[in-house]
Every structure is written in structure tokens, then in C-alpha cells.
Structure 1
Amino acid sequence: MTSLPDVEFVVRSIAQTAVDNEKYFGDLDSVVGDGDFGYSLARGFEIVLADWDGYDRTEIATFLQKVAMAITGRIGGTSGPIWGTAFLRAASVAKGKDDLTGDDVVAMLRASIEGIKARGNADVGDKTLLDALVPATDAIEAGVAAGQTPVEIVAVAATTARQAADATTPMIAKRGRASYTGERSIGSPDAGAVAVAVILEALASSWREKEEAK
């Protein structure tokens, strides 16, 4: 079972990783995009971290809604609505739950994915963060079904996301600002997909350390 402290741990890891990798994500985006992805993501999650102690923690869903509102209100461009929608959709699945099962977590991720697809008018194969997030979610679902531990599940999800992000390199971008560059988008990985991989890798590492410290 996953409790509110676990959810807080995951969200804080996502936020810190986004802030720490501002330049890296921006450099990736500047190859075919406008280079503001790393900056936008970092500014949004900086607010999340700055306001961390003030968020309503009445229940998991309320906490995630507050985070979503902070992201949507602060992150510029298309990233704000997309990442904000992901957190809002996850919150809707968690509503009324004090603890989350593995199946709940998978359902939250699936809801986030559908929200991103709708908001960004994108799907797998369009060279977006979905190309890493969907395979990673598939891996998480398989891990839950197999009875793996959270540490094992997140580790496999991180490996899957990294492989999937690398696999976006030969793709032509069909959505987002990178799509305007056509064939120039071939030869570099999608910044959003790489961000998903980096975030999951950081989470896998910190989650393992958390468990070993018990």
C-alpha cells in the first residue's frame, strides 16, 4: 500500500529532479525546440518546493490537486497545462482514498496519460513524453501484477523509460514546437521523454536509499 508520505516522497523527488536538471533538459530541447522546456519545468517545480509546507494534506487527492494548480499557474508554454493535467487526472483517481494499492497507482498513471493525450492532442509515436511514460507505466503494471516490491517496480520502470526515451532519437516529431522542424527533429531524443526517464531514474535511486535506511 502507498500512503500520503509515499506520494509526497514521489512528488518531491519529481520536483527536485526537474529543478536539478534545468540546464540539461533545456539543452536537449534547444536542439529542435525553443529551449525553454528545462527553464519552464524548473520554475514550476521550484514553486512546488517553495510552497511545500503549505499544501493541504487532508487527503492524497487534495495534495495532488494543490500541486497541479501550482504547476499549471507557473509553468509556461505547453508544459504547464500538460504536467498540470497529469497531476489533476491522477488526483481524480485517488479521490477518497487514504492509501493506494499498486492497481490504484497504475490507474492514476493511465488517467494522467489520457489527460496528456487529450491536452496535447498527441499519442505514442509522436515523439513526446508519452513515448517514455506509456512504456514505463506498462512496466509498472506488469511489476504490480507479478508482485514485485516498489523498489523493484520503480527500477524496472526507470530502465524501460530510458530505453524508450533513447528510441525517440530516430523519430520525426509530430507534436509540440519540435514538430515545426520536420526532419531536423531526427537524430536527437525528445526532451520530454528524456525528462521522464531522468525523473524515474532519480526516483528509483532515492526510493532504494529510503528502503535501505529503514
Structure 2
Amino acid sequence: MSDSWSDVDLVMTTIIETCLANEKYFGDLDSVVGDGDFGYSLARGFEKLQAQYGELDRTDIGTFFKKVGMLVTSRIGGTSGPIWGTGFLRAGMTAGATTTLDGAAVVAMLRAAIAGIMARGGASLGEKTLLDALVPMTDAIEEALAAGVSSDEVVDRAAVAARTAADATVDLVAKRGRAAYTGERSRGSVDAGATAVAVLMEQIAQNWKGRESG
């Protein structure tokens, strides 16, 4: 198996560029029942990551993701920094000292990120957070890998699952974050974090299918 750095870079640069491009959109979503700073906070954090991207330690994939996590935690404001940063940190801890990743390793990294986010934020499924898209997305990846489909089909199924789950948060009542203070009023709008996961996965899927494998 060849090194997976090109795939890691594709995913990470897509995340960075998509968060910057959707700053206003994510902020507008958050302003419905939150304080509206979600898009701004993400953009500032990933803007900093973009500026320092070439300097990050690439000893192995685990070290790289842990560095990403620490930078994200320090630069993204509000509650989003620790949540997103913990996700990257836990993914890096699970990846460990390797420069190659397969599907099973990616799923393990995502599961670790989910567990870390749950522990850090005290949230669980159904509480109108990014977990409500991230968990179904990860389930879809695992199921697609078990079915033996192509990597293009895996990312397609992940994107569909994330979007479907994010859209379904419109019917949930927020139990975490600033939106939780609005109670029943939070029903009727999608969760900004879950929608961000869907937008990111859709863009990753699009870019993934246009990549040069090797």
C-alpha cells in the first residue's frame, strides 16, 4: 500500500476551503437559534490552519492530525474549537504512527472522533448537533466498505447519508449549545453543525472522484 498523504491532503484542503467559502452560510444557519458566530469561528480557525498547513509535522498521519487538532482548538472560538479540535485529536491518536490508511482505519478514526466529541461536549445522538450527521455518515461508510463497493461509491453514500441526516435535524429540539436555550423554538430549523458536516462530505465526495489515484 502506498502512502496516503495525497488522500489526507485532499480531504483536509477540501475541509479548509469549504469552511472558508461557507462562512456566511454557516453563520446564517447558526443565527436562527444560536448566536450566529459558527461560520465566523470555523472560518477563522481553518484560515489559520491554511496559513500554517505547509509547516505541520508529517512524521506520520497520527502526528499530523494531532497537530491539526491542537491548532483548531486554539484558533476556533466559542464551543466549536474544543469540539472540532477534539475530533481531529482523537482521529490522530487512533491513526498512530502510520503513513497509510485503509477504509477500516478511516472508520476507526471517525469512531474515535465521535467518541471524543461526545465526551467533550456531553452530547449524544438526537440532541441536534453535528453528531446527528457525523454518526450516520460514518455508519454509511462502514456499510459501504462491507459491501465492497468502489471508493467513489463509498464517498457518494457517505455524502447522501450526511445530507439526509442533517436535513432531518429540522425536526429535533436542541439539547446542547446556545440553541438549547431556545427550547421548542429550535424545532423547524436545521442544525448548523450537522449541515456543515453534510456540506463538507458532499464537497469531499465531489473532489475525491476528480482526484488522481496513486
User: What is the alpha-carbon distance in structure 2 between the residues aligned to residue 8 and residue 94 of structure 1?
Assistant: 15
Give the TM-score normalised by the residue count of structure 2.
0.97
Superposed displacement of residue 113, structure 1? 0.2
**Structure 1 residue 184: Cα displacement:** 0.9
> Could you say which residue in structure 1 is the equivalent of 2:102?
101
Q: Which moved more, 1:187-196 or 1:149-158?
A: 149-158
In 1, distance between residues paired with 2:114 and 2:96? 17
| Inter-partner Cα distance in structure 2 for 1:149 and 1:68 | 29
Counterpart-to-counterpart distance in 1, 2:20 and 2:117: 21
Give TM-score scaled by structure 1 length: 0.97
SS at match of 1:32: coil
Q: Is the 8 A contact 1:41 1:75 kept in 2?
A: yes
Q: SS in structure 1 opposite 2:139?
A: helix
Which residue number in structure 1 is paired with residue 165 of structure 2? 164
Distance 2:150 2:67 in 1: 29
Deviation beyond 2 Å, 4+ runs, structure 1: none
2:48 matched residue in structure 1: 47
Contact 1:29/1:190 (8 A) holds in 2: yes
Deviation at 1:8, TM superposition (A): 1.6
- Given that 1:168 and 1:189 are in contact with CA atoms closer than 8 Å, whether structure 2 keeps it comes out as yes
78-87 or 147-156, larger mean C-alpha shift = 147-156
Deviation at 1:52, TM superposition (A): 1.2
Contact residue 4 and residue 59 of structure 1 kept, 8 A: no
Shift of 1:62: 1.1
Alpha-carbon RMSD: 1.3
Instruction: Report percent identity of matched pairs.
Output: 62
Q: Structure 1: where are the runs of 5+ without partners?
A: none
Amino acid at match of 1:207: W
CA distance in 1, matches of 2:150, 2:120: 33
The alignment of Structure 1 onto Structure 2 pairs a total of residues equal to: 213
Per-residue deviation, residues 113-145 of structure 1 (Å, max 9, x unmatched): 000000110011000000000000000001111
Partner residue of 2:133?
132
Deviation at 1:148, TM superposition (A): 1.8
| 1:153 match | 154
State how far apart, in whole Å, the 2-side matches of 1:96 and 1:62 are: 7
